[in-house]
Copies of this chain bind each other. A is one copy, B any other.
């Protein structure tokens, strides 16, 4: 049987350029190896077993997840070392405990005495050996306790009282690194993330509390850190695909973006210089992450079907299943000749995590001498 071609795919479809993805995986892993830290990729970006396996094959140790459903799915696929990196709410303890009982080396996190107390109470009642990491707020962007505050020690003591729950370490995520765009600012943020998380670990140890793990990371800081002294592991997610937001942050180029949406031209408004395509916001997501960055790509950067960038053409508008393609600057009144009805195009996404989530599967694309070849379909899951 001949290999599938792009023309055989229903559009819109999510394509993964496998060569780019593998290059991104290798780049990050080599960097982590050089910095002498373990790497724990965040699989919320892809929710795809095949891709997590490629990350582990390259050297990743364990994975990070954002939902307990992800933990269940990846554990069922044979991955046991899993960090659930969202603050544990008491109603989810039963679901987490079931994973641990079944053999998953699940780690959970807490950033309040209330949450830690609930975990300890459940552990005492059910004998569940929860390993708990304390979330540290190193940049003020979301969750976590302050590295210099009293609550850190209070939580540590709660978790180290001889209940079946144990204190496993500290973790942080400098998500505000997404708002930066110079190497200097990124390096400084990486150092802030490292130094404040290490400080939290040292304060716990000074209070005679155990803190074997010091876990930090985001794609921008992981790629910008100059040294990671005191850190034991790094986490990052979107690096596996990269996206337009990350090109604006400055940690990748457009030629590194491994995820794209294949779309078909379905009409035109030549007077306005518009081509209408069958990828709207249901395919791209509503993420407009580049809107406030230095280069606003609308809903995505246009490429031809082979992946060659069409300079100046972006998805400037999106309804549910309609996208509007136009050229920046002067309208392209010959757009119907440039991209006739039925033409396939590719769109690079603003935010790979959000765009991927719109699709039940990825199509792995391989570059062959004869052109683009469609390889296996990689399912991804969704929901909670």
Contact = CB atoms under 8 A, between A and B. Distances in A.
A51 B323 CA distance: 27
Contacts of A10: 68, 92, 95, 384
One complex includes copies of this chain to the number of 2
Interface residues of A, number: 62
A89 B282 contact: no
Contacts of A162: none
Contacts of A317: 142
A26 interface: no
A360 B383 CA distance: 6
Majority SS at the chain A contact face:
loop
Nearest to A284: B286
A118 B15 CA distance: 27
B143 A86 contact: no
A269 interface: yes
Interface in A1-54: 7, 10-13, 44
The winner among A118, A267, A288, A320 for most chain B CB atoms within 10 A is A267
A89 B342 contact: yes
Contacts of A265: 89
Given A11-B91, A382-B382, A353 B320 contact: yes
Contacts of A112: 267-268, 341
B383 A359 contact: yes
A331 to B, nearest CB: 14
A341 B142 contact: no
A100 B207 CA distance: 73
A190 interface: no
B267 A341 contact: no
A142 B285 CA distance: 18
A89 B287 CA distance: 26
Contacts of A276: 87, 142-143
A175 interface: yes
Interface in A132-163: 137, 142-143
Interface of A: 7, 10-13, 44, 66-68, 86-92, 95, 111-112, 114-115, 118, 137, 142-143, 175, 264-269, 276, 278, 281-283, 285-288, 317, 319-322, 324, 336, 340-342, 351, 353-354, 357-361, 382-384
10 contacts: A66-B321, A67-B321, A86-B266, A89-B341, A92-B264, A142-B319, A142-B322, A281-B287, A358-B382, A360-B383
Q: Considering the complex of A and B, which 3 residue pairs feature the smallest CB-CB distances, nearest first? A: A286-B286, A360-B383, A87-B266
